[in-house]
């Protein structure tokens, strides 16, 4: 029998951060216990160390796994979703994701095969050399996640108990921030010490940077207490301003790399001009970020793609117009930002 949740205690109604795992480039993962919802958000990567951290954190909060009814996942990446099925099995709970990312957890084996094939084809289109493509594929090892698992799929605005799904794509196609009456669980939409990757982190999106900037605009004036998927705290307006500034600067640098090239460059050539030598997952993320900025620069008509394989870009203006907005207009809402 599940026990009742104590009421009237701030500690039992606010999201409680549970650091899990050994850390990633973005920082240690932050799972969250929502006692009033009998839920955990983003339980963490599928490692024994993370599982131990999660269980000990829940127990330290005077809570039990058997008290849980739901596991919410903000997006499909394994460092957030990896323990979702294990926790749900142990607690007899249900797993909840946005419907765009749900197959990558609920149909893990088949969806992973499609993703790996799509990633390889996309890297080839970006001009990534075959040895680097092989290196990326070899490093993309399967995770200990069930081949299939029942996952409940949700859309933008759907509510599960007191939790609302807010579709905030860009980092992934089905990334969702989770809104309660007082708090906002951000996943990887914003991070306190690291700019979330767009482009390489999910190759399904046709305009990942435009989609991501559109998602930021949705939450700009939310005013709720925000909790990131890595780290401990975040000032949403300040971080949005910093991220926009970062992408304006990166867009200008991307344009300059195109303009300075003797021949129209591929996204891979732009990435190596910006970041230097790239390997492993950084090759995918770096090429993806360059491709995302090139796509957005093409949308605002300062570069254009050439009909070649791999795709190449050339500048259409003599100098980068610093006043040009990168954020999509209402009539240019990028594919993938719609639910």
Q: Is the same domain home to 25 and 67?
A: yes
Does the residue 261 lie in any domain? Answer: yes
Distance of CA 118 to the CA centre of its chain: 17
Among 168, 203, 235, identify where a domain stops: 235
Size (the chain), residues: 339
Q: Is the same domain home to 282 and 151?
A: no
Closest among 183, 193, 184 to 216, alpha carbons compared:
184
290, 151 in Cβ contact below 8 A? no
pLDDT interval class at 330 (50, 70, 90): low
At 207, is the secondary structure helix, strand, or coil? Answer: coil
| pLDDT tens per residue, range 156-204 | 999 999 999 999 999 999 999 999 999 999 999 999 988 999 999 999 9
Q: Is the same domain home to 211 and 166?
A: yes
Parent domain of 88: 10-235
Among 191, 208, 235, identify where a domain stops: 235
How many angstroms separate the CA atoms of 268 and 310, rounded? 10
- Count Cα neighbours of 226 within 13 Å in the Cβ-side half-sphere: 25
Contact residues for 44 (Cβ-Cβ < 8 A; gap 6+): 20, 21, 29, 31, 50, 51, 53, 54, 79, 80, 82, 83
Contact residues for 276 (Cβ-Cβ < 8 A; gap 6+): none
Please write down the long-range contacts of 127-135, taking CB distance under 8 Å and 24 or more positions apart.
127/266, 127/267, 127/268, 127/269, 127/287, 127/310, 127/311, 127/312, 128/268, 128/283, 128/284, 128/287, 129/268, 132/278, 132/279, 132/283, 135/279, 135/280, 135/283
Q: Is the same domain home to 218 and 133?
A: yes
| pLDDT tens per residue, range 51-61 | 999 999 999 99
At 304, is the secondary structure helix, strand, or coil? Answer: strand
Among 235, 268, 292, identify where a domain stops: 235
pLDDT of residue 72 exceeding 70 = yes
Number of domains into which the chain is organized: 2
pTM of the model as a whole: 0.92
Radius of gyration, CA atoms only, the chain: 20
Does the residue 31 lie in any domain? Answer: yes
pLDDT interval class at 8 (50, 70, 90): very low
Q: Is the same domain home to 311 and 175?
A: no
pLDDT interval class at 333 (50, 70, 90): low
Task: Count the neighbouring beta carbons within 10 Å of the beta carbon of residue 116.
Answer: 14
* Strand-pair partners of 143: none
Closest among 12, 19, 21 to 228, alpha carbons compared:
19
| pLDDT tens per residue, range 199-220 | 999 999 999 999 999 999 999 8
Token pair 């216990």 is found at 33
288, 199 in Cβ contact below 8 A? yes
């Amino acid at each position: 029998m599940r026990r009742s949740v104590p009421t009237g205690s701030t500690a039992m109604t606010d999201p409680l951060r549970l650091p899990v795992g050994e850390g990633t480039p973005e920082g240690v993962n932050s799972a969250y216990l929502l006692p009033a919802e009998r839920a955990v958000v983003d339980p963490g990567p599928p490692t024994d160390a993370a599982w131990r951290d999660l269980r000990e954190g829940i127990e330290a909060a005077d809570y039990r796994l058997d008290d849980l009814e739901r596991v919410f996942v903000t997006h499909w990446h394994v460092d957030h979703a990896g323990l979702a099925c294990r926790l749900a099995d142990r607690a007899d709970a249900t797993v909840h994701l946005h419907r765009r990312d749900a197959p990558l957890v609920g149909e893990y084996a088949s969806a992973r095969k499609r993703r790996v094939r799509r990633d390889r084809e996309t890297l080839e289109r970006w001009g990534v050399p075959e040895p680097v493509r092989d290196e990326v594929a070899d490093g993309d090892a399967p995770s200990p996640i069930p081949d299939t698992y029942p996952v409940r799929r949700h859309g933008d605005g759907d509510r599960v108990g007191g939790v609302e799904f807010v579709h905030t794509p860009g980092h992934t196609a089905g990334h969702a921030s989770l809104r309660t009456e007082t708090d906002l669980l951000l996943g990887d939409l914003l991070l306190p010490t690291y700019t979330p990757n767009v482009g390489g982190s999910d190759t399904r999106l046709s305009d990942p940077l435009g989609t991501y900037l559109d998602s930021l605009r949705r939450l700009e004036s939310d005013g709720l207490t925000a909790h990131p998927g890595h780290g401990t705290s975040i000032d949403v307006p300040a971080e949005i301003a910093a991220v926009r500034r970062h992408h304006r600067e990166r867009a200008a640098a991307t344009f300059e790399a195109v303009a300075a090239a003797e021949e129209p460059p591929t996204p891979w050539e732009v990435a190596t001009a910006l970041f230097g030598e790239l390997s492993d997952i950084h090759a995918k993320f770096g090429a993806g970020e360059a491709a995302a900025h090139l796509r957005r620069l093409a949308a605002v008509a300062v570069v254009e793609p050439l009909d070649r394989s791999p795709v190449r870009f050339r500048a259409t203006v003599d100098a980068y117009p610093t006043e040009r907005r990168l954020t999509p207009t209402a009539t240019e809402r990028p594919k993938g930002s719609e639910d």
